[in-house]
A and B are shown apart, each in its own frame.
Chain A
Amino acid sequence: DVKVTQSSRYLVKRTGEKVFLECVQDMDHENMFWYRQDPGLGLRLIYFSYDVKMKEKGDIPEGYSVSREKKERFSLILESASTNQTSMYLCASSLGAWNTEAFFGQGTRLTVV
């Protein structure tokens, strides 16, 4: 089975801290994604990567950056955490073909205080 693992289930950080969310997949997928999920807003794409060292902005990239130095790992970075970044963060991976599905991690619930 494909496994997408996020480094933390729950995280509490202080305003202004630099926060790293890590995601690792074990199926050699080319594509990786970071979403945030908020009540009433559904899933919003922050960044995605279609290959190592490649990244593209999604719908809400402001305040975030990403890193993909190895194929299996995709990191989301909050440069200076703010309370409005309190959310559920979901990582996903997929093969590159349009007819293949995404596999999701279990999510990281981040609270910024």
Chain B
Amino acid sequence: GNSVTQMEGPVTLSEEAFLTINCTYTATGYPSLFWYVQYPGEGLQLLLKATKADDKGSNKGFEATYRKETTSFHLEKGSVQVSDSAVYFCALRDYGQNFVFGPGTRLSVLP
């Protein structure tokens, strides 16, 4: 079946550091890929998405590129802020309509 693997957290960075959160997936077809963010006590919010190979999703300084050859969708940000502290989920959606989520990576950014 389909699956999503993310790097284990927590990830702790200083403000203005570079962020990478790795995400790889297994899918039988050509899924759409998503990054969601969850702030404490809240539901998940879409951060960015990509629907085909080599697409780059971007939002609020975050970027991720759909790499079919490596089945990856790594999240990056050049300079993190304290307000980026949250849990980040990588997800895919296939033709079966369901979403598959990774386990989430908790990010803490220190001032």
Q: Which B-chain residue is minimally distant from A31 (CB atoms)? A: B97
Q: CA of A8 to CA of B51 in the docked complex: distance in angstroms? A: 33
Chain A residues engaging chain B, CB cutoff 8 angstroms: 4, 31, 33, 40-43, 45, 48, 50, 58, 90, 92, 94, 96, 98-107, 109
Q: Determine the chain B residues whose CB is within 8 A of the CB of A104 once the complex forms.
A: 36, 43-45
Interface size class of B (residues with CB under 8 A): 20 to 34
Number of A-B contacts (CB under 8 A): 59
Chain B nearest CB, measured from A89 CB (Å): 10
A45 to B91, CA, bound (A): 13
Contact yes or no, A42 B102, CB < 8 A: yes
Given contacts A42-B104, A98-B31, A98-B32, contact A103 B99 (CB under 8 A): no
Is B101 an interface position by the 8 A CB rule? Answer: yes
Measured between beta carbons, the chain A residues less than 8 angstroms from B44 are: 43, 90, 92, 102, 104
22 chain-A/chain-B pairs, Cβ below 8 angstroms: A33-B99, A42-B101, A42-B103, A42-B104, A45-B98, A90-B43, A90-B44, A92-B44, A96-B97, A98-B31, A98-B97, A99-B32, A101-B32, A101-B34, A101-B49, A101-B93, A102-B44, A102-B46, A103-B46, A107-B42, A107-B43, A109-B41
